[in-house]
Amino acid sequence: MKMNGARIMLECLKKEGVDTIFGYPGGTVINLYDALFDFKEIHHILPRHEQAGTHAADGYARATGRVGVVIATSGPGATNTVTGIATAYMDSIPMVIITGQVPTPLIGNDAFQEVDIIGITRPCTKHSFLIRDVKDIALTMKKAFYIARSGRPGPVLVDFPKDIQIAQSEFDYPETVEIRGYKPNLSGHPRQVEKAVAMILESHRPVMYVGGGTVLSDSAEPLTELARTLTLPVTTTLMGLGSFPESDELSLGMLGMHGSYCANMAMSNSDLIIAVGARFDDRVTGKLSTFAPHAKIIHIDVDPTSIKKNVPVDLPIVGDVKDVLLKMIKQTDKNKEKLAGFVAALTPWHSDITAWKEKHPLGYKQSSTIIKPQFVIQKLRELSDDDAIISTDVGQHQMWTAQFFQFNKPRTLLTSGGLGTMGYGLPAAMGAQAAFPNRQIISICGDGGVQMNIQEMATLVQNRLPVKIVILNNNFLGMVRQWQELFFDKRYSSTCMELPIDYIKLADAYGAKGFLATKPGDVESVIKQGFEEKGPVIMEFMVAREEKVLPMVPAGASLNEMVLNA
Amino acid sequence: MQHTISVIVENDFGVLSRVATLFSGRGFNIDSLTVAPTNEEGLSRMTIVTRGDDQILEQINKQLNKLIDVLKVLDFTDGSAIERELALIKVAAEDDARAEVLRVVDIFRAKIIDVTPKSYTIEATGNPLKIDGILELLRPLGLKEVVRTGAVAIGRGAKGWNG
């Protein structure tokens, strides 16, 4: 049966198992939306801004592990997705972005709402396609989804001209796809695995340094098993949070610029770092020349370009993190006789770590009069569901969430780690809530970032997505203010928000509920009220204005040169 | 260190910009780049002359391999390839200089492809170092215009890139 290109596109999405998409109509996708009008298998959510729609698809992808899908029209619709695409690209999130394009005969003519979106997004997509024939739609979409989700995942953009949406063709979806230039190496080399386990068994001060690749490859279980078998201390990056339970005594928490004292000290004193799906980002390593000076490095990553990009590596293992970890578990099993001796020999290392944990645990000075932001995060953990999903924006509240929430399960933290995108949190939470209508989804924001996509309150209310929005309001762009305090002589250039917003009224204007806490005694009751509410909620906490995120490794300093009190 | 890399790519829309974007976005140098279709349907071959230390060259190789449209990256090291470049050179040639130009052309086994009373246009091929050499000798005579293709390279031995 012949159908038009727009309908073929939707049939492709259905074949890929897509049940929810985010998108915003416009001139060059009007045919696609017309086809969507009676295509009941796909649930479409209309955000109030294409950037938010893209973040929502990203949040959906991070929470579920499936490919997030967003539609935008040509020109400004397409350019509005760019921040969302770059966010997903930096954190390796599988997404397919479908942008309308002017009819093929008009491409290049500066037509109305024409933009070269493929050109604009080339540096921040894993790949992109321009569909130039209705007969190519199915194969292109098969490739797009395959590329987005396989290997190191990432966003793939499909530019879809209007005339191709109108043209008629048969629909025939390929069962398999073969791309001769794209063969991700998923299987870790057995010899490298053997060497890795041998290196671990010879080490005395090993640390597992775990990144987002562990979450992306759904490897929390084998990671936890391997770490517990070998009693390896585990520190995670921001993106790795949740892949190893922070409640476990082997957990060191997060490392890096705002990492825990014990995690950074462990890295600095380690003799063997086992990097698992992490990429030695500058926020993690601090000054490279003094990073982990005593350690050999084993680096497990599916993307060969991550290996030896920033630091020299003694043993690279290219492969899917899960595959490699499972092989390492087997290999450890083969060395059972050495295990007891190895674990016993780690005792002094474990005592060092315990001593570091006790010397400078994460903490803050509680107040009886002013709400401390860290206290709100701790209360949120205490009062929220075990499987609650947390999203954050970027800045102080993000670091406090990473430090104090205690993540024990993978895919429960949605945060823009690589790009550091303000305005990410609220729409990402929206995407997660669309995927899991019955789970508790909490969007923790500052008063800066929340205003960057606040219009999505309308989407939440309209679609009955009961996201709990927590605003830690210090009326500052807090992280920049903190840097200005520490490094710029308190010259608070453009970081004071000055105009206070009445978020309670704002919630009301959108038809949602708002609750305000101004003193520590209000915190628990506001959270409880917010959680009990059936619909979306804003919970606003007026927090200590000049509270700092500590410890802190100043930019350019070594990991063990943490500012602990300032 | 200068380095020659051949990249076999799908002859697809935008592949040249993908490679160029990769080099500019990551701050890699391109000394020269040539691209043209190969004998195999749908494939093109790029020859890129670049510079960097071992770590940078390893990244360039890996990053090129990561592009979906790239089938193969051939990294030519230690004379494992033959390199050739073509140059078209317009040189001023009047009076005594005319004979000197012809001598240089003869020594380098180049060809005169256009003549006027005031100039010669020369076609020279060879290893890029040879092109540098002929330009060096012609420079004092007055170079008017130089067009170089950039190097192309092919591996030594009986095997093709694909085995």
Give all strands (DSSP E) within A59-118, no chain letters. 68-72, 95-101
**Contact status of B75 with chain A (Cβ, < 8 Å):** no
Q: How far is A305 from chain B (nearest CA, A)?
A: 5
pLDDT of res. A565: 85
Residues A304-330: pLDDT tens digits? 999 999 999 999 999 999 999 999 999
Q: What is the largest CA-CA distance in chain B?
A: 57
Backbone angles phi, psi at A466, to 5 degrees: -80, 50
Residues B13-23: pLDDT tens digits? 899 999 999 99
Cβ-based interface (< 8 Å): residues of A facing B: 118-119, 122-123, 126-128, 130, 132, 147, 179-182, 303-305, 308-309
Confidence of residue B153 (pLDDT cuts 50, 70, 90): very high
Residues A473-509: pLDDT tens digits? 999 999 999 999 999 999 999 999 989 999 999 999 9
Over 90: is that where the pLDDT of B1 sits?
A: no
Q: How far is A307 from chain B (nearest CA, A)?
A: 9
B67 contacts on A by Cβ (under 8 Å): 181
pLDDT of res. B80: 87
pLDDT of res. B77: 74
| Cα-only R_g, chain B | 18
**Contact status of B162 with chain A (Cβ, < 8 Å):** no
Tokens, residue A68: 């997030």
Over 80: is that where the pLDDT of A566 sits?
A: no
Residues B32-67: pLDDT tens digits? 999 999 999 999 999 999 999 999 999 999 999 999
| Run of H or E including A171 | none
Which of A130, A147, A305 is nearest residue B63 as measured by Cβ atoms?
A305
pLDDT of res. B79: 79
Indicate the SS3 state at residue A540. Answer: strand
- Rounded to 5°, the CA angle A228-A234-A237 comes to 145
pLDDT of res. A154: 98
- Closest to A427 measured CA to CA, from A80, A116, A101, A128: A80
Residues A326, A330, A333, A339, Cα dihedral to 10°: -50
Confidence of residue A12 (pLDDT cuts 50, 70, 90): very high
Q: Over the range B10-32, which residues count as b (16 or more CB within 10 Å of their CB) and which as e?
A: bbeebbeebbeebbeeeebeeeb
Confidence of residue B2 (pLDDT cuts 50, 70, 90): confident
Do residues A54 and A97 touch, judged by C-beta distance below 8 A?
yes
Helix %, strand %, coil % of chain B (to 5):
30, 40, 30
* Average pLDDT over all residues of chain A: 97
Tokens, residue A10: 């939707």
CB atoms near residue A482 (< 10 Å): 22
| Run of H or E including A478 | helix A478-487
pLDDT of res. A516: 98
Do residues A261 and A564 touch, judged by C-beta distance below 8 A?
yes
Whole-model pTM: value is 0.96
CB contact under 8 A, A305 and B62: yes
Chain A residue closest in CA terms to B21: A123
| Mutant choice from A124, A182, A183, A306 vs B, greatest count of B C-beta within 10 A | A182
Indicate the SS3 state at residue A305. Answer: helix
CB contact under 8 A, B70 and A122: no
Residues A196-249: pLDDT tens digits? 999 999 999 999 999 999 999 999 999 999 999 999 999 999 999 999 999 999
Chain B residue closest in CA terms to A179: B68
Q: What is the DSSP letter of A214?
A: H
As a whole number of angstroms, the distance between CA B55 and CA B1 comes to 11
Which of B21, B59, B67 is nearest residue A309 as measured by Cβ atoms?
B59
CB contact under 8 A, A304 and B62: yes
As a whole number of angstroms, the distance between CA A67 and CA A72 comes to 16
Look at the block and give the residue holding tokens 């190969």: B38
pLDDT of res. A10: 98
pLDDT of res. A126: 98
Burial tier of A533 (Cβ tally within 10 Å: 0-12, 13-18, 19+)? middle
Q: What is the mean pLDDT of residues A42-50?
A: 98
Chain B residue closest in CA terms to A118: B14
Chain A residue closest in CA terms to B60: A305
The CA–CA distances, whole Å, from A508 to A336, A426, A538 equal 62, 17, 10
Which of A126, A181, A304 is nearest residue B71 as measured by Cβ atoms?
A181
pLDDT of res. A487: 95
Residues A167-197: pLDDT tens digits? 999 999 999 999 999 999 999 999 999 999 9
**HSE, side-chain direction, 13 A CA sphere, residue A272:** 19
pLDDT of res. A427: 98
Q: What is the DSSP letter of A501?
A: -
Q: What is the mean pLDDT of residues A448-472?
A: 98
Do residues A177 and A146 touch, judged by C-beta distance below 8 A?
yes
Q: What is the mean pLDDT of residues A84-107?
A: 98
Residues of A annotated as part of the active site: 50, 112-113, 162, 479
pLDDT of res. B78: 72
Tokens, residue A175: 């069962």
Over 90: is that where the pLDDT of A431 sits?
A: yes
Residues B112-128: pLDDT tens digits? 999 999 999 999 999 99
Helix %, strand %, coil % of chain A (to 5):
45, 15, 40
CB contact under 8 A, A305 and B68: no
pLDDT of res. B12: 87
As a whole number of angstroms, the distance between CA A86 and CA B27 comes to 19
pLDDT of res. A470: 98
Over 80: is that where the pLDDT of A530 sits?
A: yes
Over 80: is that where the pLDDT of B161 sits?
A: yes
Indicate the SS3 state at residue B46. Answer: strand
